[in-house]
Structure 1
Amino acid sequence: MRCLVALPAVAVPGRRSHPNLKPRRRSTLVAILGSCRCGRRHLLGASSAAGLLHLVNPPCLAAPAIDPDVMLERVHPARPGWYEKLYATAMDKGMQSYEAEIAQYKSNLFSQLSVAGKNILELGVGTGPNLKYYASADGVNVIGVDPNIYMEEYSRAAATSAGLPSSNFTFRRGVGEALPAEDGSMDAVIGTLVLCSVKDTDMALREIKRVLKPGGLYLFIEHVAAADGSFLLLVQGALDPLQQFVADGCHLTRKTAENIKEAGFSSLSLNAPINDMLCLFGTEPCGVCSEIILVLAHFCSVIAPGGLSVFS
C-alpha cells in the first residue's frame, strides 16, 4: 500500500505551554526479553508512516519552554546503570535481523539526502544503525540524542565505522520533548521508530520544527495504528498495555501519521511498504518531512519546481 499526501503551507502556531509530565516507569523485562522485534519501539508492530515536509516561511523559532536536562529527568529519568547497560546491549544484539531486513529500504530513503557539510540531529539514535547510511559525507556534523547514556558507546562505534570523525559526532542524553539544539540550527532531523515512545508526540514534532532550518528535512520511519475497525487494531489495543510495559513506553495504537500531517509542515510524502520483519500483522509506512512547499515525487522524495531535488 502506498499513500502520497500533499499539505498546503500552514503557519506554525505559537508554542503552547508544556503540561506537567510525570516520569514513566520502565520494566526490566524489556532487557531480559531482549526487547521487541524493533527494539524498544515495537513488540508486534503494525502499520507505520514516513514522509517529507517543507516550510515556505521560517518556523516559529522559540527556545524549548523547559530546559532539555530538566525535561529529560521528567520524561525519562535515569534508570539503574546495570539496567540501562543491559538494555543497550539487548538493542545492539536484538536489532540485527530487523536492520538486515530493512537495509535496502533505508538505503533508498537516505540516498535522497545530500548531507555534505550539513548539520544533522538524530532523535533516538540508539546504537547508531542509521549512521552508515548518511554520516560518511564530507563535513557532516551529527548530534545523536538518546536518553540512555549507554547507547553512546555503540553509536560512537557506529559513527566511526561509517567514516565520521569523532570530532563530528556529539552524543547528548535527551528526549524529543526538549531537543538539545539551537533554534533553526539543523539541516535535517532523523528519527526511526521513535515517536511511538515519546511522552508527547505533538511536543516532539514542535521541537523538531523548532531546530530545523527553513527548508530543512525531517526523515522518519514510524509504525502506527492499523485501520479503524480492523481486527488488527483490536489486537493492538489489547496488547498495547503489555507493549508499553516491556518496550520502554512504545505504543501500538498511535496514529503518528495524523500527528505529522497536523504538525504544520507544508508538504508530506507518505507511503506504506510491507515488511514482515517489522511486524507480525501489519504494514510499515515511512518517509521524510521537511520545511517549504514543493512538488511531491515518488518513494519518499520531494522534487522542487524545475526538477531540482531538495536533497541536493
Structure 2
Amino acid sequence: MNLINSPILGAKVSLHFFTPKPKAIIKNPHNNSHITMMLKKRVNSDESNKLTTTTTEFDDSLESSTTTTTTTKPCLCGRRHFIEATATTLTAATQSATATNSDSEYTALVNKFHPPKPDWYQKFFAWVLNSFTKSYEAEVARYKSQIFSILKEKKANKILEIGIGTGPNLNYYASDSNVQVVGIDPNPEMEKYARSSATSAGFPLSNFEFIHAVGEVIPLSDASVDAVVGTLVLCSVKDVDLTLKEVMRVLRPGGVYVFVEHVAAKDGTFLRFLQGVLDPLQQTIADGCHLSRETGESIAKAGFSSVELDMAILSNATFVNPHVYGIAKK
C-alpha cells in the first residue's frame, strides 16, 4: 500500500487522464499463450531476453521482451495454525496443505521480507490510509469496477487479496454471499479497519479472514483460490517477481489475477524526475512504497497465459502516477 495525497508530500501535479486504445500482441515463443498490452512499454532488453513481437505505434514505439515460463515454486509456507484459522474460508485443498513450517519459522519469513515497524508507526500508517484515501478510491472506482467484473463472470468464490490494507475492495465482493475472501497484509493494524470496511459494505465477516502475511510467502496451498486481487501492493513488496510467482502458485488453472498498480512515469518527463527525487523519502514514510517500479512489465513477464493491461492517470494520486490496471489469467 502506498501513501496517496500524503500531507508530507502534498503538492499536486497537474495531470490529465488518458486511455490509449492501440494494442500490441506479444507472442511467447515457448507456448501458444499471448499477452495483450494496452500501454506504452519500456523494457530494458538484453541478449537473454528476446522474442518476436508484433507492435502497434501510438506515441512512442512499443518495445517488449519476455522470459521463459517460470516453474511454479513449491509451497514454502503451509502452516497448521493458518489452515485451522481459515477452515471456514478455504477449500478442502487448502485445508489439506502440508505443514512445512512452524509458526515461528513463518513469522521469521514475514519479518525477512517486511521487517517489523514500531507499533506507533503501524497504527499511524493504517489510520492515514483509512482516513485520507477516500477521494482516490472514488476516482479509481471506475477502473476497479471494470476489471473486478470478471470475478463474477468467472464465478470466483475463493478470493485471496494481497496487501488488503484497510479493505477498500471488500465493497466489490459484497453483492455475492458465496464469495469468501482471505486478505493478507504485513501490517496487523490494518485488520480492524478491514473488518470495519467489510461491515460497512455488507460483506459477511464470517466470509472474511485477515492473515498477517506477506506476498512473497503466501500462506495458502497450491492452486487453492479462484482469483487473486492486488491493488497498490507491488509497489511495497520487497521482491516483486517472487510475489508474482506466489500469485501464480496459489491460483487454480484458469484463475485470474486482478490488479491496479502505480508505475514509473515516462523517462525524461518532469514527473519521472520528481519521482526519482522523492523515491527515498516515499519508501521511508510510506512503508516501503517505490515510486519508480516498472510493475506492468513485471506482470507481463511473470508467466501468465494472457495479460491485459491498460493505463490511466489519476488526478487524486498526485505524483504516484501513472497507474496500470488489468487482468492476468493463469
Aligned residue in 1 for 2:291: 252
Question: Counterpart amino acid of 1:172?
Answer: I
* 1:64 corresponds to 2:67: no
Question: Counterpart amino acid of 1:63?
Answer: C
The CA deviation string for residues 142-185 of structure 1, in whole angstroms up to 9 with x for no partner, is 00101111111111121223333222111000111101111100
Structure 1's 148 and 238: CA in aligned 2 closer, same or farther, altered over 3 A? same
Aligned residue in 2 for 1:73: 111
In structure 2, C-alpha distance between the alignment counterparts of 1:176 and 1:289, rounded to whole Å: 17
Please point out which of 147, 155, 158 is paired with 1:109: 147
**Correspondences of 1:146-225 after superposition (within 5 Å):** 146-225=185-264
1:130 deviates by 0.6
Classify the secondary structure of the residue corresponding to 2:228: strand
Structure 1's 168 and 6: CA in aligned 2 closer, same or farther, altered over 3 A? farther
* 1:230 corresponds to 2:269: yes
| Unaligned runs of at least 5 residues, structure 1 | 12-56, 292-312
Classify the secondary structure of the residue corresponding to 2:229: strand
TM, length-normalised to structure 1: 0.72
1:6 deviates by 4.1
The CA deviation string for residues 158-216 of structure 1, in whole angstroms up to 9 with x for no partner, is 12233332221110001111011111001000010110110010010001101000111
* 1:90 corresponds to 2:128: yes
The CA deviation string for residues 30-52 of structure 1, in whole angstroms up to 9 with x for no partner, is xxxxxxxxxxxxxxxxxxxxxxx
| Unaligned runs of at least 5 residues, structure 2 | 1-18, 32-68, 78-100
Classify the secondary structure of the residue corresponding to 1:229: coil
Structure 1's 229 and 117: CA in aligned 2 closer, same or farther, altered over 3 A? closer
In structure 2, C-alpha distance between the alignment counterparts of 1:91 and 1:253, rounded to whole Å: 21
Please point out which of 160, 166, 178 is paired with 1:121: 160
Classify the secondary structure of the residue corresponding to 1:92: helix
In structure 2, C-alpha distance between the alignment counterparts of 1:75 and 1:264, rounded to whole Å: 23
In structure 1, C-alpha distance between the alignment counterparts of 2:182 and 2:230, rounded to whole Å: 12
1:62 deviates by 1.8
TM, length-normalised to structure 2: 0.68
In structure 1, C-alpha distance between the alignment counterparts of 2:311 and 2:141, rounded to whole Å: 16
Aligned residue in 1 for 2:82: none
In structure 2, C-alpha distance between the alignment counterparts of 1:216 and 1:156, rounded to whole Å: 26
Classify the secondary structure of the residue corresponding to 2:168: coil
Structure 1's 265 and 127: CA in aligned 2 closer, same or farther, altered over 3 A? same
Q: Report if the CA contact (8 A) 2:181-2:207 is conserved.
A: yes
1:60 deviates by 2.8
Structure 1's 58 and 143: CA in aligned 2 closer, same or farther, altered over 3 A? farther
- The RMSD of aligned alpha carbons is 2.4
Aligned residue in 2 for 1:263: 302
Classify the secondary structure of the residue corresponding to 1:272: strand
* 1:243 corresponds to 2:255: no
1:61 deviates by 5.8
Q: Report if the CA contact (8 A) 2:215-2:246 is conserved.
A: yes
Question: Counterpart amino acid of 1:134?
Answer: Y
Aligned residue in 1 for 2:48: none
Question: Counterpart amino acid of 2:265?
Answer: A
Classify the secondary structure of the residue corresponding to 2:282: helix
Higher-RCO chain (CA-CA 8 Å, sequence separation at least 6) = 1
Q: Report if the CA contact (8 A) 1:5-1:269 is conserved.
A: no
Structure 1's 94 and 116: CA in aligned 2 closer, same or farther, altered over 3 A? same
How many residue pairs get matched?
246
In structure 2, C-alpha distance between the alignment counterparts of 1:269 and 1:93, rounded to whole Å: 32
Question: Counterpart amino acid of 1:168?
Answer: N
Classify the secondary structure of the residue corresponding to 1:220: strand
